[in-house]
Amino acid sequence: MIHTLKRWLAVASVGFLAACGGGGSDQPADVVGTINGKPEFGILAEAINASGLRTALNANGPFTLFAPTDAAFAALLTELGITKDQLLADTALLTTVLTYHVLPAKVERAQVPVGPAITTLQGGIFKVVTSGSALRINDGRNRLATITATDMQASNGVVHTIDRVLLPANRNIVQTAQALPQFSILVEAVVAANLQGALSASGPLTVFAPTNDAFAALLTELGLTKQQLLANVPLLTRVLTYHVLNGRALQANIVPGQAITTLQGGTFTVDASLRITDARARTSQIATTDVLTSNGVIHAINRVLLPLPAENIVQTALAAPQFSILVEAVQAAGLVNALSAPGPLTVFAPTNDAFALLLAELGLTKPQLLANVPLLTQVLTYHVVSGRQLSGEVLARAASNQPFTSLQGGTFGIATSPLRITDARGRSAGIAGVDSFTSNGVIHTLDRVILPPAN
């Protein structure tokens, strides 16, 4: 009889522990059972019950629960200006907040990814960053919480303790920029270009956001007032969409040196030091990364990026009065289509004064030169090089005494101090201007027409 009673008590004890979510070390409780009964998680347990999530978190999972302490909840109540009862009564808010603390997978401390976006059961994202040896969570509102204890094992996952309640993003890209004073000119520009709807859509999108100081520097660079820039909607649209990527690209997703394609269609690159090189070989530094929003992410940059112009080589020359004779010559030689093709090409472009000097040198009138199509073609194609050869490449070739080979087939050398070309006939032409970007190449300005080898 005594042995039977002992056996019954043992079986009853096991049943009671199982009913409570326990059962000993061989059978840990589920993620909710793991925090139940622990004094530091009293409010969290109440919140789970009030939201009706107990059953969902009792499922097979696996789950990872980032569990805020009572002190974390107390700080949240102060932050939101509400009481505990008000929080527990707001089931919609509670469900949104609590499911933002759950991952639909078991992720122990050793597997926590540092840097990339982590998608929660709620659908929003956060990222984990390091602070010394500690792990911190950057939530959707760019608030930080420290993971203070890790790897509490549960039957259907794992629990980590955090010292602050996480909140999902509640502002889109435009709303986030509106709330940050350093982006006030950017917001004005977005509104002027009528892009606020596109940047408020579900996305996700990535915006490389120039600060007010970056816009001030651009205005000086372009010689424009803010009002003139905001009034030029085509230019503004091209520039702003050049700062936007499809998809959410956090810092951890950016591959150094890889061409990044923008909504505008142009590309830029980012190096390992987070320096951007735009389509015009200008550089901008990413000053702040991973400002999370409900529809993407913002990176703050200290210089406005510029895409290639919409105009090709011929269109650019047409718009510049000092190249009017060059344009006449290109038209007379039938080279308009070749110089309007995708390229890219580099044109060393003689000015009108340079052509005037050539006419005197050759003893020709302008009509005589334009009528001599074989000569004109030889001379003009001698001024064109394949590829977009920027001033840096020109200087590098000068330093290494490496000549350029032209489309005409002849070569010419480059020298510095001052920067000049020595043509196939030993004549010298000064490079008076460099790096005039076009959609299909670049133009450098010459003060003298260069001549290919004599036949």
What is the pLDDT averaged over residues 200-219?
97
- Confidence check: pLDDT of 117 > 90: yes
- State pTM to two decimals: 0.83
Q: Which residues of 177-216 are buried (b: 16+ CB within 10 A; e: fewer)?
A: bbebebbebbbebbebbebbebbbeebbbbbbbbbeebbe
pLDDT of 61: 86
Helix 352-362 to helix 324-332 angle (10° resolution) is 60
pLDDT band for position 20 (cuts 50, 70, 90): very low
Residue 344, both tokens: 């890219």
Which residue is associated with the tokens 């390091």? Answer: 130
CATH number of this structure's domain 313-446, picked from the four choices 3.40.50.300, 2.30.180.10, 3.40.1390.30, 2.170.8.10: 2.30.180.10
State what percent of residues in the chain have pLDDT above 90: 88
pLDDT attached to residue 26: 56
* Confidence bin at 455 (pLDDT 50/70/90): confident
Q: What are the domain boundaries of the chain?
A: 24-162, 175-301, 313-446
On the question of a common fold for 24-162 and 175-301, the answer reads yes
Mean local confidence (pLDDT), 295-322: 96
pLDDT tens digits, residue range 329-354?
999 999 999 999 998 999 999 999 99
CATH class entry, domain 175-301: mainly beta
Position with higher pLDDT, 350 vs 454: 350
Checking if the pLDDT of 6 tops 90, the result is no
What's the CATH fold of domain 24-162?
FAS1 domain (2.30.180)
Q: How far is CA 120 from CA 77, 89, 257, in A?
A: 22, 23, 31
For the stretch 355-389, pLDDT in tens is 999 999 999 999 999 999 999 999 999 999 999 99
Side-by-side strand order, sheet with 345-350:
384-386, 345-350, 441-446, 428-438, 420-422, 411-415, 404-405
3-state SS, residue 448: coil
pLDDT classification of 262: cutoffs 50, 70, 90: very high
